[in-house]
Structure formats: structure tokens, C-alpha cells
């Protein structure tokens, strides 16, 4: 979340620049803040696409703006959304299934050495479910799917059916936007610059009679 507001000193400065039209200062400030919030939202989308390998659908809806008003001169840019299936990020469906979420990182194998109930490598795989969903999955020894018959593991324990599977997920848009090393600081640095530009534009419009 990016909360963007301006203190009373800024409002007084705008009133002075408006030269006799101080009553219009709150409206000028509101418009400038909302313009800034809109630009920050656009920058967030650009930075997410620049730094992450996923084809992020619905990012425009995931980032919302609560606009400033004349009574409450505060704008809030907020991101929402659930973790994105890892299959939507860059991946290679080899024996181990390798994947990466951040563009500057290397592909990492998702296989766990010697982790299955027979002491073999626990490999990940890409699969299409009965509902048509495609994802990257891994079996979970010791946990079973329901209704598939029991079987005995190497350690003597019995399961109630086939090994359950878990799906791998990458970051949500919320985490991408809030990344303190990639996205957030790059966008935050531009906020004051955008606000100054917008204030000049809207003050000039009032002085010109628009």
C-alpha cells in the first residue's frame, strides 16, 4: 500500500501561489494527488512486468486507487490478490521441473533429494488436472488422497491411498508490488517529482481561468 498525503504547509504554499484564489487550493491539491496516484499505479504495473517472469493477468484490477477528496486530501494505492501458480512464471518441465520468479535469478530445480518414502528424489512435475487447470505439483509422502485404496510404506506405516500432491505457487501481486528491493522503492522515489509536476499544471490552469 502506498499512502500519499500532503501537510498543511504545502496547502499554504499553494494558496500563496494562487494569489487571491486560495479557496481553490484544496481542489488543486486533490487533483494533483490523484494524478500522482494514477502515475504511481502505472509505474507499479511496469516495474512488476520488468522484474518478474510471470505473465501477470488482471494486474490492472489488482491495483486500486482510493482517490483524494476536497475533505480528505489523501490518496491510497493498494494491491490485492492471491499467490499466483508457479506454472505461470518461467519454468522448464525437465525431470526436476526448474522454475524462477524473478528475472535476474537463475532457474532453480524443485526436486528434493532423497525426500520420498523410498529414499528417492522427490521430483516435481507439470500436470493438467481434470478441471483443466495446469500447474507444477509435487507428491507429499505420508499424506494421502482420499478414496484410492491403502498401501504400506517402507517404514511400515499404511496410507489410505495415493500420495497427496501439493501445488507450487509464486508471489502474489501484493508481494511483487511491496518488494523492498525491486518494485516499491523505484516507484516511491518518483512520487514527489510527480506531485510537483501536477501541482504546477493545476495551479497554472486556475491562474489561466480554466
Tell me the pLDDT tens digit for each residue of 138-157. Answer: 888 767 666 555 555 556 66
First to last CA, the chain: 33
Shared domain for 56 and 120, answered yes or no, is: no
pLDDT band of residue 68 (cuts 50, 70, 90) is very high
Shared domain for 178 and 153, answered yes or no, is: no
Shared domain for 163 and 180, answered yes or no, is: no
pLDDT, mean of residues 85-99: 89
SS3 190: coil
pLDDT, mean of residues 159-177: 82
pLDDT, mean of residues 41-45: 93
**CB-CB contact of 34 with 4 (8 Å):** no
pLDDT, tens digit, for every residue of 174-202? 999 988 888 988 898 898 899 999 999 99
**CB-CB contact of 25 with 10 (8 Å):** no
Q: What is the mean pLDDT of the chain?
A: 84
Q: How far apart are CA 77 and CA 172, in angstroms?
A: 16
pLDDT band of residue 172 (cuts 50, 70, 90) is very high
Q: Kindly tell me the burial class for residue 52, based on how many C-beta atoms sit within 10 Å of its own C-beta (0-12, 13-18, 19 or more).
A: buried
Shared domain for 133 and 193, answered yes or no, is: no
The pLDDT assigned to 202 comes to 92
- Give me the residue label for grid cell 493498494: 78
- The count of domains in the chain is 2
- Strands 134-144 and 163-167 come out as antiparallel
Shared domain for 102 and 136, answered yes or no, is: yes
DSSP string, 47-74: HHHHHB-S--TTHHHHEEEE---SSS-E
pLDDT band of residue 96 (cuts 50, 70, 90) is confident
Between these two residues, 66 and 57, which has the higher pLDDT value? 66
pLDDT band of residue 166 (cuts 50, 70, 90) is confident
The whole domain housing 32 covers 2-83+173-207
Shared domain for 58 and 9, answered yes or no, is: yes
Shared domain for 78 and 90, answered yes or no, is: no
Shared domain for 28 and 128, answered yes or no, is: no
The pLDDT assigned to 157 comes to 60
Shared domain for 51 and 13, answered yes or no, is: yes
Shared domain for 139 and 151, answered yes or no, is: yes
Helices (H) and strands (E) in the chain, counts: 6, 11
In the beta sheet, which residues pair with residue 164?
140
Amino acid at each position: 500500500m502506498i499512502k500519499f498525503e500532503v501537510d498543511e504547509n504545502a496547502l499554504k504554499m499553494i494558496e500563496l501561489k494562487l494569489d487571491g484564489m486560495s479557496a481553490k487550493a484544496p481542489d488543486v491539491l486533490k487533483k494533483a494527488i490523484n494524478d500522482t496516484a494514477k502515475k504511481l499505479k502505472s509505474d507499479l504495473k511496469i516495474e512488476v512486468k520488468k522484474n518478474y517472469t510471470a505473465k501477470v493477468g488482471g494486474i490492472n484490477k489488482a491495483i486500486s486507487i482510493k482517490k483524494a477528496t476536497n475533505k480528505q486530501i489523501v490518496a491510497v494505492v493498494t494491491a490485492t490478490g492471491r499467490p499466483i501458480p508457479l506454472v505461470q512464471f518461467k519454468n522448464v518441465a525437465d525431470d526436476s521441473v526448474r522454475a524462477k520468479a524473478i528475472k535476474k535469478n537463475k532457474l532453480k530445480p524443485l526436486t528434493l533429494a532423497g525426500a520420498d518414502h523410498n529414499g528417492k528424489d522427490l521430483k516435481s512435475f507439470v500436470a493438467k488436472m481434470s478441471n483443466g487447470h495446469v500447474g507444477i505439483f509435487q507428491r507429499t509422502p505420508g499424506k494421502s488422497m482420499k478414496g484410492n485404496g491403502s498401501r504400506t510404506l517402507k517404514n511400515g506405516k499404511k496410507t489410505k491411498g495415493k500420495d497427496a500432491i501439493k501445488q507450487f505457487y509464486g508471489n502474489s501481486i501484493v508481494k511483487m508490488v511491496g518488494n523492498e528491493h525491486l518494485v516499491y522503492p523505484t516507484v516511491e522515489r518518483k512520487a514527489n517529482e510527480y506531485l510537483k509536476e501536477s501541482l504546477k499544471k493545476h495551479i497554472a490552469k486556475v491562474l489561466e481561468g480554466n
